[in-house]
Amino acid sequence: MAADGGIPAQPLPVAARAPGKCIVFGEHAVVHGAPALVMAIDLETQLFARAAPATSLNSDAEAVRENPYFREGLARAWPDGPPLAVRAVSRIPRGAGLGSSAAFSAALVAALGAVTGGIARRDLAQRAFEVERAAQGVGSPTDTAASVAGGCVALNGGDGPPLWSVRTDERAWEVRRVPDPGWVWVVAHSGIRRATGDQVRAVGRRLASADGAALLERFRTVAREGIAAVVREDRAAVAARMRENQALLTEVGVSHPRLEALLAAAAPAAEAAKITGAGGGGSIVVLPIPGREVDLTRRLARAGGLPFVVRPAPHGAGLIESGVRP
């Protein structure tokens, strides 16, 4: 079962981890089949599951009904299983566009997959996506693909080795490995939480309007060229495509004054900066001027953001084998 680097079988208790993510190109358009580039980041969720008299998440028994990710994860990966006490801890801010729900879904499915005999990585990618999509109602497998694969991946783009495809009844997304250029990135959370589903539905309406097809084509071109620039390790071209992508995100209405303030604060220490994730709040991603990372985080913090210096996390969701228990 672990032949593809999948999750091996392990009895309860089990501990798993999964990274958050940062979308560099193509958010929103990827929901409609356009390419995207996403990287797993070295902020992660850790999750520990053990047998218990009643099912709970972080000691909350109501979470089975009230937390849609927990509910959908149990329904899909633990349908008739006995009660579990699950504990999850995370360094990923919630509702920030940095993949906290994808990391939780991937870690939960990985942990329960281990207990049910192991799970191949492509099945983990599909099932973690189904959990997130059922919980949100809409969306693409971008976040869960990064959390399951680790490193950098392209959806519907790039020419690297194919990893797997993830599908709904209506659409499939091809996931391919993109080599990590080894750059340091900075992300900053605006502090404004928002629901991804609402943002995705609003942009969907915009893309269904008269000029929607032309707009989607511009998203496609920017992401395709951006992915090629990352593969060539061409920072100037990556920065130019990030700026173009930001202009498109503003045009479809997902910017916010707080995000604009963070983008302005980043500018003197950045090669480029843009919204990452659904927008309307959430976070920005910055390609720093090399050597200016600390200055950049100070500027972002002074502007009211919560900054993190991040690198792509090399490994996707997996078991924690060291005995470390969250």
Whole-number minimum distance, CB 179 to ligand PMV, in Å?
Answer: 22
Whole-number minimum distance, CB 278 to ligand PMV, in Å?
Answer: 3
Contact by Cβ (8 Å): 270, 286: yes
Whole-number minimum distance, CB 228 to ligand PMV, in Å?
Answer: 20
Distance between CA atoms of residues 92 and 101, nearest Å = 9
Please identify which residue in 24, 25, 27, 39 interacts with ligand PMV, judged by CB under 6 A: 27
Query: Is residue 97 at the binding interface for ligand PMV, with CB under 6 A as the rule?
Result: yes
Query: Is residue 282 at the binding interface for ligand PMV, with CB under 6 A as the rule?
Result: yes
CA angle 314, 90, 137 (to 5 degrees): 90
Distance between CA atoms of residues 290 and 192, nearest Å = 28
Q: Which is nearer to ligand PMV, 70 or 129 (CB)?
A: 129
Whole-number minimum distance, CB 285 to ligand PMV, in Å?
Answer: 11
Query: Is residue 31 at the binding interface for ligand PMV, with CB under 6 A as the rule?
Result: yes
| Window 195 to 234, contacts with ligand PMV (CB under 6 A) | 196, 200
Distance between CA atoms of residues 305 and 25, nearest Å = 21
Whole-number minimum distance, CB 105 to ligand PMV, in Å?
Answer: 11
Structure-token pair, residue 22: 């940062």
3-state secondary structure of 149: helix
Q: Could you give the dihedral angle defined by the CA atoms of residues 163, 167, 172 and 178, in that order, rounded to the nearest 10 degrees?
A: -30
Whole-number minimum distance, CB 192 to ligand PMV, in Å?
Answer: 12
- Using CB atoms within 10 Å of the CB of residue 283, give its burial: 0 to 12 exposed, 13 to 18 middle, 19+ buried: buried
Please identify which residue in 28, 121, 258, 274 interacts with ligand PMV, judged by CB under 6 A: 28
Binding piece for ligand PMV, criterion CB under 6 A, among 26-34, 58-66, 210-218, 284-292? 26-34
At 268, which amino acid appears?
A: P
Whole-number minimum distance, CB 245 to ligand PMV, in Å?
Answer: 12
Please identify which residue in 30, 111, 152, 215 interacts with ligand PMV, judged by CB under 6 A: 30
Distance between CA atoms of residues 257 and 84, nearest Å = 43
Whole-number minimum distance, CB 190 to ligand PMV, in Å?
Answer: 12
Query: Is residue 190 at the binding interface for ligand PMV, with CB under 6 A as the rule?
Result: no
| Closest C-alpha among 273, 293, 315, 255 to residue 121 | 315
Q: Which residues, in sequence order, are CB contacts of 55 under 8 Å at separation 6+? A: 61, 64, 74, 83, 84, 85, 86
Query: Is residue 72 at the binding interface for ligand PMV, with CB under 6 A as the rule?
Result: no
| Window 249 to 278, contacts with ligand PMV (CB under 6 A) | 277-278
Q: Which is nearer to ligand PMV, 31 or 259 (CB)?
A: 31
| Closest C-alpha among 278, 101, 272, 250 to residue 189 | 278
Interaction mask 107-146, ligand PMV, x per CB under 6 A: --------------------------------xx-xx---
Distance between CA atoms of residues 305 and 316, nearest Å = 27
DSSP at 7: B
Residues that bind ligand PMV (CB under 6 A): 23, 27-28, 30-31, 97, 139-140, 142-143, 196, 200, 277-278, 282
